[in-house]
Structure 1
Amino acid sequence: MDLVWIEPWQEGDLDVLRRINTPEMKRHLGGPETEEKVLARHRKYVEFAGTGQGRMFRVVALPEGEAVGSIGYWERVWRGATVYELGWSILPTYQGRGLATAALVAAVAEVRARRTHRWAHAFPSVDNAPSNAVCRKAGFTLLGETDFEFPPGRLMRSHDWRLDLTAGLGW
């Protein structure tokens, strides 16, 4: 049984971003953003698909059909190679049901279909046990700890999780 589906981010998804922008949801990511920054992030998410560099999605829980978070992937240069980075947020009332893992597996399928880069990475805070568990359950390999800048100007201690996007695909 499918737990979620992911849909490309659209104009009407601003409310989802606002619901994610809380102290509880942003405690590992530098805290909530100003409304101005939320609006700029929303605009970036809407326009992102047209850049060819990645895509953002809203996560829809099944069978409810309710938008419960976001997930996306984007290109980044990491240790000299262009890779995809993945990131997600699931609203607190929906956490603990496997939705983040299901959304990550769905997003990885999208990334694999692009056949662009070999590696995908995720960088959850070392203190974010649930997000680290999501990486492990989705088949990522823990490479170790690293200092990671997010948001810009703020270093955080993160785990570097990696997934080989070519595994089993023969490319």
Structure 2
Amino acid sequence: MADVTLVPWSADDLDLLRRANTPELMDQMGGPETDEQVIARHEKYQRLWREGTGFQFRIVIPGHPEGVGIVGYWELAHGDEPAFESGWSVEAEYRGLGIAPAAVLAMFAAVRARGDVRPVHAYPRVDNPASNAVCRKAGFTLLGPVEFEVTPGRVLHTNDWVHDLSAAPA
């Protein structure tokens, strides 16, 4: 597994968010955002940290302190049960190196360190083999396909994966 470090999201991470604002990385969200939308999302990530309801991280690998991707989790109601939703992205030139699964596993450790054992869900599109593979490698369990509203009015055909944080880490 790749050597990754997760760094809590900070005011210094706006450039990383701008680099992640590509058609390929933002396809699940409806495409790239305007710069104003990127700035608003950056501010939201910082606000979620302050409120304790969501936690985004910069994914750092040796030699790249500026970060090569983003991973995070935020509160979600799954049916009537409190849970987390998770998401990640890794810049194109760093894909296929095991960075995303390693970052997700590190994120699970961060959630546990906060003392939370709510289930963590991920909703990659069913036609996204790379993200579904990350879920498998990181120890998620596939619950099956669902129609998932990723943003208001934007519903995608996704897989619902879940990770049980109360189980012993792999």
TM range (shorter): over 0.9
Counterpart check, 1:165 vs 2:165? yes
* SS class of match (2:130): helix
Q: In structure 1, what is the equivalent of residue 127 of structure 2?
A: 127
Q: What 5-or-longer segments of structure 1 have no aligned partner?
A: none
Q: CA deviation at 1:62?
A: 2.2
The aligned amino acid for 2:141 is: T
What's the RMSD between the two structures over aligned residues?
1.5
Counterparts of residues 1-171 of structure 1 (less than 5 Å) = 3-168=3-168
Determine the C-alpha separation between the residues in 2 that align with 1:46 and 1:107: 17
Kindly provide the amino acid, as one letter, of the partner of residue 145 in structure 1.
Answer: P
Q: Note the alpha carbon deviations across 1:50-93, whole angstroms, 9 max, x for none.
A: 11112111111224434101111111001110101110010000
Give the TM-score, by structure 2 length.
0.93
Which amino acid in 2 is paired with 1:120?
V
Q: 1:65 aligns to what SS in structure 2?
A: strand
Does the 8 Å contact 1:146/1:159 carry over to 2? yes
- Is this contact kept in 2: 1:56–1:72, CA < 8 A? yes
The separation in 2 between residues aligned to 1:38 and 1:27, in whole angstroms, is: 15
- CA distance in 1 between counterparts of 2:165 and 2:24 reads 32
Structure 2 unaligned blocks of 5 or more: none
- 1:92-112: per-residue Cα shift (whole Å, max 9, x none)? 000110000010000011112
Structure 2: how far apart are the matches of 1:19 and 1:63? Answer: 18
Q: Call closer, same or farther: CA 1:164–1:27 in 2, change over 3 Å.
A: same
1:2 Cα shift?
5.2
Normalising to structure 1: TM-score of the pair? Answer: 0.93
Conserved in 2, the CA contact under 8 Å of 1:3 and 1:63?
A: no
> Identity over the aligned pairs, expressed in percent?
50
Runs of 4+ that moved beyond 6 A? none
| Count of residue pairs the alignment pairs up | 169
Does the CA contact (< 8 Å) of 1:54 and 1:74 recur in 2? yes
